[in-house]
Amino acid sequence: MIRVSSQIDSNFISVVGNLLIHFELTFHFCVPDLLDPIGPQIKFSSATQSSTYTSLAYSIAHIADKAIDGNTDGSTGSFTHTDTESNPWWEGQLERLAIITKISVYNTKNYQDRIKGFYLQIYRDGEEQKVFQFQDASDSGEERYDIYPNIAGSKVKIGLSGDNKILHFAEVEVFGYTLQE
């Protein structure tokens, strides 16, 4: 990754009446990596969901953290899964406020229809910034959904609207540039 940082110093002298005024301005700026406009992957600090389904056959709890464990194929029980409920949701808190350039949501290999019609919300300091609604034309759901929001955010929420729904997907990845607070 290439980062370019620069500093510009300027000196100004101004004459106002009989007074000579001298002041300096310093500007600091950083140019994001021009070879990678999407940016690096941003880590989540935590994840929660509306409910957790536990597979009795395999004694596996499909907790919210399974969607941020780095496994994008959803194999070996590595996926998040809610119980059947009204308006299920999953949300992940980013480690830092960031300019979010891309979000990838990976579907599971089985039961791909359980994410069809999902919405994705981005929050900054608890305030909703942007909502994306996906109306999937396929019968089963896509393998991966890529969203390019280009907005500052600190939390990502994925959900389904309606009754008797199960939210079930493999992974969420967020890319961009973290901001200093």
pLDDT reported for residue 165: 94
Domains identified in the chain and CATH numbers: 41-178 (2.60.120.260)
pTM (whole model) above 0.75? yes
Q: How far apart are CA 25 and CA 67, in angstroms?
A: 46
Please answer whether residues 174 and 93 qualify as being in contact, where contact means their C-beta atoms are separated by less than 8 angstroms: no
Q: How far apart are CA 119 and CA 156, in angstroms?
A: 11
pLDDT tens track for 158-174: 999 999 999 999 999 99
The CA angle 164-129-125, to the nearest 5 degrees, is 100
Least Cα distance to 169 among 128, 130, 136 occurs for 136
Q: How far apart are CA 122 and CA 46, in angstroms?
A: 15
The contacts of residue 161 (CB under 8 Å, 6+ apart) are 87, 117, 119
CB count in 10 Å sphere of residue 75:
12
pLDDT tens track for 29-61: 455 545 567 899 999 999 999 998 887 766 778
pLDDT tens track for 99-132: 999 999 999 888 888 888 899 999 998 898 889 9
- Both tokens of residue 64? 């919210």
Q: How far apart are CA 94 and CA 89, in angstroms?
A: 17
- Both tokens of residue 164? 């008797």
Cα 74 to the center of its chain, rounded Å: 18
Comparison of pLDDT for 8 and 50, the residue scoring more: 50
Least Cα distance to 124 among 148, 102, 93, 145 occurs for 93
